[in-house]
Amino acid sequence: MRDQLSHIDDKGQASMVDVSPKPVMHRRAMAIGFFVAKKETLDAVMDGNLPKGEALAVARIAGIQAAKNCGSLIPLCHPLPLEFAGVDFDRVSDDRLKITGTAAITAKTGIEMEALTAVSVAALTLWDMTKAIDKDLHIEGIELVEKTKTETPSSRS
């Protein structure tokens, strides 16, 4: 089982992965998810016309903040000094808003959890800001869509 699960130690206990022997690489990840609401709700979101204020700005900042704090939120994630975290929104239909979270770092471990956390918290923030006007909200399809790593000059030596 140890060969299959990287967060299980030799005694079968949950543990943080030791990344100290790994090389430093430039790592980037992108995640997406969808916030689904009534057309009128998304109209108000896009217009910045909600009782709680401008939802997209608040959700963008919430997602970035969540990515920066991922190591505190998810117990076995490494705390990482992010070099970039971003959240973007794209209305893809009358009732569907696509959320894209991106994170990048030069480090010994991946950054996908930060991108996924950014999308998740941005979606939850939109939910919080619209729940008073729409009782049929949904969050769907949160997934990792891109994960890359490239060598840095120091990783080649």
> Per the structure, how many domains does the chain have?
1
Q: Is residue 89 part of a domain?
A: yes
Question: Which residues, in sequence order, are bridge partners of residue 35?
Answer: 97, 139
What whole-number percentage of the chain has pLDDT above 70? 93
Q: Is residue 128 part of a domain?
A: yes
Q: Say which residue the tokens 């430039």 belong to.
A: 26
Q: Is residue 155 part of a domain?
A: no
Q: Is residue 13 part of a domain?
A: no
For the domain that residue 35 is a member of, what is the CATH number?
3.30.70.640
Catalytic residue selected from 9, 88, 128, 134:
128
Q: Is residue 5 part of a domain?
A: no
Residues 41, 126 contacting (CB under 8 angstroms): no
Residue pLDDT, tens place only, 122-139: 999 999 999 999 999 999
pLDDT tier, 95 (very low <50, low <70, confident <90, very high otherwise): very high
Residue pLDDT, tens place only, 17-43: 888 888 999 999 999 999 999 999 999
Question: Which domain does 71 fall in, by range?
Answer: 25-147
Q: Is residue 56 part of a domain?
A: yes
Q: What is the Cα–Cα distance from 104 to 9, expressed in whole angstroms?
A: 28
Q: Extract the tokens encoding 113.
A: 């959890």
Q: Is residue 79 part of a domain?
A: yes
What's the pLDDT score for residue 2?
A: 41
Entry pTM: 0.90
Q: What is the Cα–Cα distance from 20 to 26, expressed in whole angstroms?
A: 16
* Phi, psi dihedral angles at 135 (to 5 degrees): -95, 0
Among this protein's residues, is 128 annotated catalytic? Answer: yes
What's the pLDDT score for residue 56?
A: 97
